[in-house]
Amino acid sequence: MVSINPPDPDSSYLHKIWFGVLHFLLTIGSHWLSLWGAVTCTVTAVFIVMMFLLDTIGYFHNPYAGIIAFVVLPSIFVAGLVIIPIGIHLSNKKKRRQRASGEAEAERFPRLDFNEARVRHVISVFGFITLANILILAAVSYKGVQHMDSSEFCGQTCHTVMTPEFTAYERSPHSRVECVNCHIGPGASWFVKSKLSGSYQVYAVTFNRFPRPIPTPIENLRPSRETCEQCHWPEKFIGNRIVVKTKFSDDEANTPLKTVLIIKVGGGHLESGNAGGIHWWHMYSQNKITYIPADKQRQQIPWVQLADPQGKITTFVAADSKITADELSKIPVRTMDCIDCHNRPTHIYKMPGPAIDEVMLVKRVDPSLPFIKKQALDLLTKEYPTQQVARDAIKSGLENFYRTNYPQIFSTRQAAIVTSIAALQQVYSTNVFPEMRIAWGTYPNNIGHQDFPGCWRCHDDNHVSADGRKIPQDCSTCHDLLATEEANPKVLPDLLTGF
Ligand code: HEC
Ligand code: HEC
Ligand code: HEC
Ligand code: HEC
Ligand code: HEC
């Protein structure tokens, strides 16, 4: 058995520390398990500190680096910490057994006699190391929580699964808002809930048990009052908003047609005298609208109820609904909030027509190429097994078209054709994700009524109250249509210059 003599009482301070460390090492090294634990802890601690420093100077952009630094390494570190005392305990037990064979009664616990220099040394080194460990763990768990709340972690760790949402998010008006601001919001209880459902998601992804596409609406999404309204003031009066839409036709010249709308977004307060428009009518600050959807995606709404600021309640029922009153009574009633209209505030998957129009408007796809709109639409709306196959097909499709039908243009306008192909490939791969079974229009958008029922789920002139009142569908309820698909709307030069 190795032993060291206690230091001289009046030896130097450094000397004492040296003895302390030696004693500590002897205690830890007395069993292979505690030795192993100590080595593991030391090695991981060095790595954690290194990763921590690298992360602090902004070296990492990779979501996996964060998982290793703040989840995997700390877990190994803690496991190491746990086995150290187990090893010490086992070694003491062994010593006691050896002693017991000679003595009548074995001691059950080691004696902590502070008069013994060895005990004092071990305890003080132990205390110092524990303090250092607590500091490391506190810093790492803070960073870990911060990391797991980051958009890189939510959006990029489970690669295939979140690619569509992350891609759409990065190109949206909310690309600087973290995922957690909408999906979790402030407060501890939703944080815990999200970590619980997150653990299930880790399981689902690991064992490939997740649905494709991810079904919506998200059943237990936090009410928007506690998320969106942290940033958007619901009573804010927005007033009218002018929207100009350009649609390119499918003729040879891709003739642009313009639609001009004044959308009555509204908002405001009865008390301030500016109440009105879309926002004021539906927001529960003064009106409360509840409804019962007949399908999971909330696209059919047979029953709607309005409680107005005076407390009067009006119930509207779809005249042609086939669902019985008994079936209706079994479905939970939902209070309308931001998400019932803005269900795609950030994961905005576009429809092919408007998505192509958008890149043509900014000339990333050259509108002077003959029939480019029609060709693009044909190529982008075909079904492809993967994004790569789609990209190749878009390239060869467009090249073949111009080579065969417009050889002159094919040879003189190569640059325009090449940039147009790249832009169209990007339109496809930011909106369609065959790997997650997301095609054009898989996720309905509830704003508007062109491609999905949207506002017309209720505003169809067919939802009638007992006293004959209807949820209105007149075109001027929600917007004034100043021009509809006109080549040169007369209002535009009057309203704006430069368009
Ligand atoms: C501005 C708020 C907002 C932000 C920021 C946001 N989301 Fe969402 N997200 C939503 C809303 C609202 C829905 C619900 C759509 C529904 O229920 O129909 C949703 C739905 C989803 C869905 C379900 C599938 C789908 O496409 O609807 C996933 C997955 C998702 N979000 C992941 C993320 C990830 C990952 C991030 C960060 C990279 C993120 N979200 C950031 C608001 C947001
Ligand atoms: C952390 C703050 C924050 C949260 C939370 C947030 N938003 Fe926003 N939102 C913004 C900012 C900032 C903009 C302006 C972006 C811009 O103009 O580019 C914006 C813009 C918008 C717009 C206008 C988009 C456009 O096309 O101009 C809508 C609609 C919107 N948010 C709805 C929502 C909804 C619905 C939610 C909840 C699901 C939400 N927001 C949550 C900060 C937030
Ligand atoms: C009845 C449907 C509906 C509801 C409910 C609704 N909105 Fe809107 N909101 C709209 C429409 C329609 C527009 C105009 C969209 C457009 O111009 O394309 C709009 C526009 C906006 C804009 C952009 C305003 C601007 O400056 O131009 C923001 C921000 C916004 N909504 C936030 C919210 C928030 C936050 C909530 C919940 C408190 C909410 N909305 C509830 C339909 C709704
Ligand atoms: C869940 C059903 C529902 C949906 C979806 C819905 N609304 Fe409404 N909306 C109502 C009800 C109910 C009223 C009150 C009708 C009444 O009493 O005249 C109303 C009233 C309005 C009004 C005021 C009408 C008036 O009499 O001046 C406007 C504007 C409006 N909605 C716009 C929209 C827009 C835009 C959308 C889509 C983005 C939309 N609504 C989606 C239920 C709905
Ligand atoms: C309940 C509200 C509501 C009613 C009623 C309504 N609309 Fe709309 N409409 C909208 C909203 C919201 C948009 C989307 C604006 C946006 O995308 O920014 C829209 C968009 C449009 C567009 C532009 C579409 C595009 O993308 O090019 C046209 C055209 C249009 N509506 C025509 C009509 C006509 C015609 C009627 C009458 C039969 C009508 N709307 C009734 C709410 C309504």
Instruction: Report the separation in Å between the CA atom of 479 and the middle of ligand 5, taken as the mean of its atom positions.
Output: 7
Q: Are 426 and 395 in contact (CB under 8 A)?
A: no
Best mutation site among 298, 344, 471 for ligand 4, i.e. most ligand atoms within 8 A of its Cβ? Answer: 471
Structural domain of 20? 13-148
The pLDDT value given to residue 198: 79
What's the whole-model pTM score? 0.87
Portion of the chain with pLDDT greater than 70, in percent: 94
Phi, psi of 381 (to 5 degrees): -95, 0
What is the residue whose two structure tokens read 């506002």?
455
- The reply to whether 413 and 467 lie within a common domain is no
The pLDDT value given to residue 110: 59
CA 132 to mean position of chain CA atoms: 35
Q: Given the CA of residue 337, which atom of ligand 3 is nearest to it?
A: 5
User: What would the pLDDT profile of 140-170 be if each residue is shown by its tens digit?
Assistant: 888 888 887 888 888 887 767 889 999 999 9
User: What would the pLDDT profile of 96-139 be if each residue is shown by its tens digit?
Assistant: 888 777 654 545 555 677 788 777 877 888 888 888 888 888 88
User: What would the pLDDT profile of 377-393 be if each residue is shown by its tens digit?
Assistant: 999 999 999 999 999 99
Structural domain total, the chain? 4
Residue 217 falls inside a structural domain: no
- Amino acid symbol at 312: K
Residue 221 falls inside a structural domain: no
pLDDT at 190 over 60: yes
- The reply to whether 417 and 478 lie within a common domain is no
pLDDT at 496 over 80: no
Residue 4 falls inside a structural domain: no
Last residue of a domain, one of 210, 228, 260: 210
Of residues 94 and 245, more confidence is placed in 245
- The reply to whether 309 and 408 lie within a common domain is no
Residue 490 falls inside a structural domain: yes
- The reply to whether 39 and 55 lie within a common domain is yes
Q: Are 274 and 268 in contact (CB under 8 A)?
A: yes
User: What would the pLDDT profile of 356-373 be if each residue is shown by its tens digit?
Assistant: 999 999 999 999 999 999
- The reply to whether 188 and 58 lie within a common domain is no
Residue 485 falls inside a structural domain: yes
- The reply to whether 137 and 202 lie within a common domain is no
Q: Given the CA of residue 459, which atom of ligand 5 is nearest to it?
A: 1
The pLDDT value given to residue 494: 78
- Which residue is closest in CA terms to ligand 4's atom 16? 471
Residues 419 and 295: their CA atoms lie apart, in Å, by 43
Across 236-247, b (16+ Cβ under 10 Å) vs e yields: ebebeeeebbbb
Residues 298 and 292: their CA atoms lie apart, in Å, by 8
Last residue of a domain, one of 133, 148, 163: 148
- The reply to whether 255 and 274 lie within a common domain is yes
Best mutation site among 159, 179, 432 for ligand 1, i.e. most ligand atoms within 8 A of its Cβ? Answer: 179
Residue 312 falls inside a structural domain: yes
Task: State the DSSP code for 112.
Answer: -
- The reply to whether 31 and 115 lie within a common domain is yes
Best mutation site among 149, 171, 174, 447 for ligand 2, i.e. most ligand atoms within 8 A of its Cβ? Answer: 174
Residue 457 falls inside a structural domain: no
- The reply to whether 174 and 69 lie within a common domain is no
The pLDDT value given to residue 386: 96
Mean pLDDT value across residues 285-301: 91
Last residue of a domain, one of 190, 210, 230: 210
- The reply to whether 49 and 102 lie within a common domain is yes
The pLDDT value given to residue 1: 43
Choose the weakest-confidence range: 2-11, 244-253, 474-483.
2-11
The pLDDT value given to residue 103: 58
- The reply to whether 99 and 117 lie within a common domain is yes
Mean pLDDT value across residues 314-325: 90
User: What would the pLDDT profile of 18-55 be if each residue is shown by its tens digit?
Assistant: 877 888 888 888 888 989 998 998 899 888 888 888 87
Chain-wide mean pLDDT for the chain?
88
Residue 278 falls inside a structural domain: yes
- The reply to whether 425 and 396 lie within a common domain is yes
User: What would the pLDDT profile of 223-277 be if each residue is shown by its tens digit?
Assistant: 888 899 989 987 788 899 999 999 999 999 999 999 999 999 998 888 888 888 9
Residues 440 and 379: their CA atoms lie apart, in Å, by 13
Instruction: Report the separation in Å between the CA atom of 326 and the middle of ligand 4, taken as the mean of its atom positions.
Output: 26
